[in-house]
Each structure stands twice: as structure tokens, then as C-alpha cells.
């Protein structure tokens, strides 16, 4: 089974004699082509979930499979490779590099993994054209609107053809119209490219784009009816 599966994941933060349980027996499976949302208040465990799903943080207990690979068994070097090749991140802010053009924002992802081939350049152009930025390839971040910057970040997250897309509050800095554009675009690309995607959000207006919705409170996950 491809995609991502978390089984009975618990994460406990220990500070001296005090411990805080951020996630408790957290189980979730997201298959290829599925777009799910996780909602919940601040401090509910959403960020911890994203860090564990993104191979940035190890669970205290439980299992995390990414494309059937148990990431707990991987070395730091192997985890770094998984993050680069199997996971696409979309953050609250677009995190674009100010000195790179829109096209180069995508190509730098390939450069991090080795070298840029002509096929990579074509794929980047295809992604950007698909999301409506075909005319903006050589523009810089300061020449783009907030929505265009976030769309660039979406295209960048697909650049390495990852298995999983993790979106952290992708509409946080956008007005309603732009927010709908961005989330509908993520949903469309997830379906078209058969990725497993999870969006963590406070924005309940965006949930209609998702196949399933989960709520997390005090580290406990429940599926919304």
C-alpha cells in the first residue's frame, strides 16, 4: 500500500520530570489520490503530527510507513533522502527565495538532489503552466501577488514527484477568494498526479475540497462524520 500510514503513534515530550503527550495512539492512513484535512485548535498536536509525518521528528511509540517504508528504521542520511524525494511540503508562507525567479524556485529542488536535467526544466514549466503561472516563469517573488507566491510553492512541492504532500495552513495569509483558489488547486493536482495529501488547517471553509476530515484535540484524532 503506497501513501502514508501512521499506526498507534504516540509522541511524548519530556522536560525534566514533566512530560507532555502531544499525540496519543494516533492512527491514520492516506492512500494515493486522497486529500484529507486535519482541523483542531492551537496546541492540539497538529504541528507534531506534521513533523512526524514529514520525517522531521521521531515518534515515541508506534509506526510510520511512507510508501511501505518504516521510517523508524532509517538512518539520518536515509531520512533526509526520504524528505527530499518522497515528501512535498507546502507551508503557511510560501518561503520563496527572493533572488530566484519562479522557474528557479522549482529547479533548486532538483539541484539539492543532484543536477538539473533538461527534462526537469520541462517538468517545472509544465507544473507552472498547469497552475496558471506560465506567463510568470521569469518573475521574482516581489513581482507576484500573495496567491501567486503560494501557487509557486504548490508547484515546488510537486517538483520531485513526491508520494506525499503535507500542507501546513496553506491559506493562513490569503483572502477568501485566493484561499479557495489555492486549496482547489492542491486538490486538483493531488487527484491528477495521484498523491497522498494531508492539509492541516484552521480554515473550515476549505473542507469541502477534502475527501475526509479529521479533528484533533489534545493529541487524539477522530474522524468527522
Distance of alpha carbon 105 from alpha carbon 203, whole angstroms: 27
Which burial class, exposed, middle or buried, applies to 132 when counting CB atoms under 10 A from its CB (0-12, 13-18, 19+)?
Answer: middle
pLDDT at 115 over 90: no
Band the pLDDT of 113: cuts 50, 70, 90: confident
pLDDT single digits (tens) 202-222: 888 899 999 999 999 999 999
Which neighbouring-strand residues pair with 166?
89, 198
pLDDT at 138: 96
pLDDT at 1: 58
Contact between 185 and 151 (Cβ < 8 Å): yes
Distance of alpha carbon 36 from alpha carbon 120, whole angstroms: 29
Band the pLDDT of 41: cuts 50, 70, 90: confident
pLDDT at 61 over 90: yes
Domain ranges of the chain: 4-223
Q: 4-223 in CATH: which number?
A: 3.40.50.300
Mean of the per-residue pLDDT values for the chain? 92
Q: Look at residue 178 and give its three-state secondary structure.
A: helix
Q: Look at residue 9 and give its three-state secondary structure.
A: strand
Question: What SS3 string covers 99-147?
Answer: CCCHHHHHHHHHHHCCCCCHHHHHHHHHHHHHCCCHHHCCCCHHHCCHH
Distance of alpha carbon 167 from alpha carbon 217, whole angstroms: 19
Q: Look at residue 183 and give its three-state secondary structure.
A: helix
- Residue (of 217, 221, 199, 178) closest to 37 by Cα position: 199
Tally Cβ neighbours within 10 Å of residue 61.
12
Average pLDDT over residues 99-103: 96
pLDDT at 94 over 90: no
- Residue (of 27, 65, 64, 22) closest to 47 by Cα position: 22
pLDDT at 197: 96
Amino acid at each position: 500500500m503506497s501513501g502514508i500510514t501512521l499506526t498507534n503513534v504516540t509522541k511524548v515530550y519530556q522536560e525534566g520530570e514533566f512530560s507532555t503527550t502531544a499525540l496519543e495512539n494516533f492512527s491514520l492512513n492516506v492512500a494515493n489520490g486522497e486529500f484529507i484535512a486535519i482541523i483542531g485548535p492551537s496546541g492540539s498536536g497538529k504541528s507534531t503530527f506534521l513533523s512526524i509525518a514529514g520525517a522531521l521528528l521521531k515518534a515515541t511509540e508506534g509506526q510510520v510507513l511512507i510508501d511501505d517504508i518504516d521510517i523508524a528504521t532509517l538512518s539520518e542520511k536515509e531520512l533526509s533522502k526520504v524528505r527530499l524525494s518522497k515528501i512535498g511540503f507546502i507551508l503557511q508562507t510560501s518561503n520563496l527565495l527572493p533572488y530566484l525567479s519562479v522557474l528557479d524556485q522549482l529547479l533548486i529542488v532538483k539541484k539539492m538532489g543532484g543536477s538539473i536535467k533538461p527534462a526537469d526544466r520541462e517538468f517545472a514549466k509544465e507544473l507552472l503552466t498547469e497552475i496558471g503561472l506560465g506567463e510568470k516563469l521569469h518573475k521574482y517573488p516581489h513581482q507576484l501577488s500573495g496567491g501567486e507566491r503560494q501557487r509557486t510553492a504548490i508547484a515546488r512541492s510537486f517538483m520531485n514527484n513526491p508520494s506525499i504532500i503535507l500542507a501546513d495552513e496553506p491559506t493562513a495569509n490569503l483572502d477568501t477568494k485566493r484561499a479557495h483558489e489555492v486549496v482547489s488547486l492542491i486538490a486538483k493536482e493531488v487527484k491528477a498526479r495521484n498523491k497522498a495529501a494531508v492539509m492541516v488547517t484552521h480554515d473550515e471553509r476549505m473542507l469541502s475540497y477534502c475527501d475526509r476530515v479529521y479533528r484533533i484535540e489534545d493529541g487524539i484524532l477522530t474522524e468527522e462524520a
